[in-house]
Amino acid sequence: MLDDFMTRATLAGVGVAFAAAPLGCFVVWRRMAFFGDATAHAAILGVALSLALNISVFAGAMAVALIMALVVTLLAGRGYAMDTLLGVLAHSSLAFGLVAVSFLSGIRVDLMAYLFGDILAVSRSDLVVIWGGAALVVALVAWRWSALLTSTLSEELAYASGLDPKREQLILTVALAITVAVAIKVVGVLLIAAMLIVPAAAARGLARTPETMAVIATAIGAISAVAGLQGAYVLDTPAGPSIVCVAAILFAGLNLIGWRNRSGA
């Protein structure tokens, strides 16, 4: 079954949805959309370093994404405006990564695959990495779910409950770096943030509890992956962007239905 490239691609897309959707809920709740985007942009520098050092792209992308997220977290508490800091680091790391790739001699690099994903080229070993990373992220979020929710709701409430909001932020940062690393093969660095945010945003109006929102967001992400791949196959369009387009259509449709229901109530 795994010999079929469409089967591998579908499994890869669903695996990324399982990792990105629950984490994306916290990104939406904490208004960290630009944070996720900046972390994803940094991954291209990790790709360049991985190719130069002949190590796993997954390991390099995750390491640089994690370093980027930690740097932002540390500098944010020292008087820097968060949006300005993220803008500088995101675009600088992407630019340095692209320049670094241009210096790699004797190595054929398909930048479009890393920028927009190459899900149709996913191998069996890639599936192991993607699903392993997704399982790790889901386990991490499930383990700290209550603490993460409390810290997201109020730092004062977290301290009163004996929790350290900075530690929970670090856990979220680690999970985000892992997600970026596993998603880079599927949707590329420029579309990873979309897979984090769009399914979660689409699920927000349908859910009455945080847990329900995470489940619905996962379902929307998985549906987007499957439908996007089928649409790309039929229409001969890029697979990664097609997945995000389906997620955006679902977001628009669900919000339109919600708006009509509220108007009619």
Instruction: Output the domain CATH number for residue 95.
Output: 1.10.3470.10
Q: Per mean pLDDT, which range of 49-53, 135-139, 198-202 is the poorest?
A: 49-53
DSSP per position, 203-227: HHTT-SSHHHHHHHHHHHHHHHHHH
Q: What is the pLDDT of residues 182-196, one digit of tens each?
A: 888 788 877 888 888
Residue 265: inside a domain, yes or no? no
pLDDT of residue 160: 86
Rounded CA-CA distance 2/90 in Å is 36
Supply φ then ψ for residue 106, to 5 degrees. Answer: 80, 5
Helices 5-29, 124-143: inter-axial angle, 10-degree rounding: 30
Residue 219: inside a domain, yes or no? no
Structural domain containing residue 166: 5-191
Return all residues near 255 (Cβ < 8 A) that are at least 6 apart: 202, 205
Question: What is the model's pTM?
Answer: 0.85
Residue 140: inside a domain, yes or no? yes
Residue 212: inside a domain, yes or no? no
| Highest-pLDDT range among 37-51, 108-122, 177-191, 206-220 | 206-220
CB-CB neighbours of 238 under 10 Å: 19
Could you tell me the pLDDT band of residue 60, with boundaries at 50, 70 and 90?
confident
Residue 113: inside a domain, yes or no? yes
pLDDT of residue 80: 62
Could you tell me the pLDDT band of residue 103, with boundaries at 50, 70 and 90?
confident
pLDDT of residue 106: 62
Residue 9: inside a domain, yes or no? yes
In this predicted structure, the answer to whether residue 62 has a pLDDT above a threshold of 60 is yes
In this predicted structure, the answer to whether residue 210 has a pLDDT above a threshold of 70 is yes
Q: Provide mean pLDDT across the span 114-125.
A: 82
Q: What is the pLDDT of residues 153-184, one digit of tens each?
A: 888 888 888 888 888 888 888 888 888 888 88
The b-or-e profile of 189-205 (16+ CB within 10 A means b, else e) is bbbbbbbbbbbbbbbbb
Total domain count, the chain: 1
Q: Provide mean pLDDT across the span 109-128.
A: 79
Q: What is the pLDDT of residues 239-252, one digit of tens each?
A: 888 999 999 999 99
**Greater pLDDT, 256 or 264:** 256
Residue 181: inside a domain, yes or no? yes
Return all residues near 232 (Cβ < 8 A) that are at least 6 apart: 238, 239, 242, 243
Could you tell me the pLDDT band of residue 226, with boundaries at 50, 70 and 90?
very high
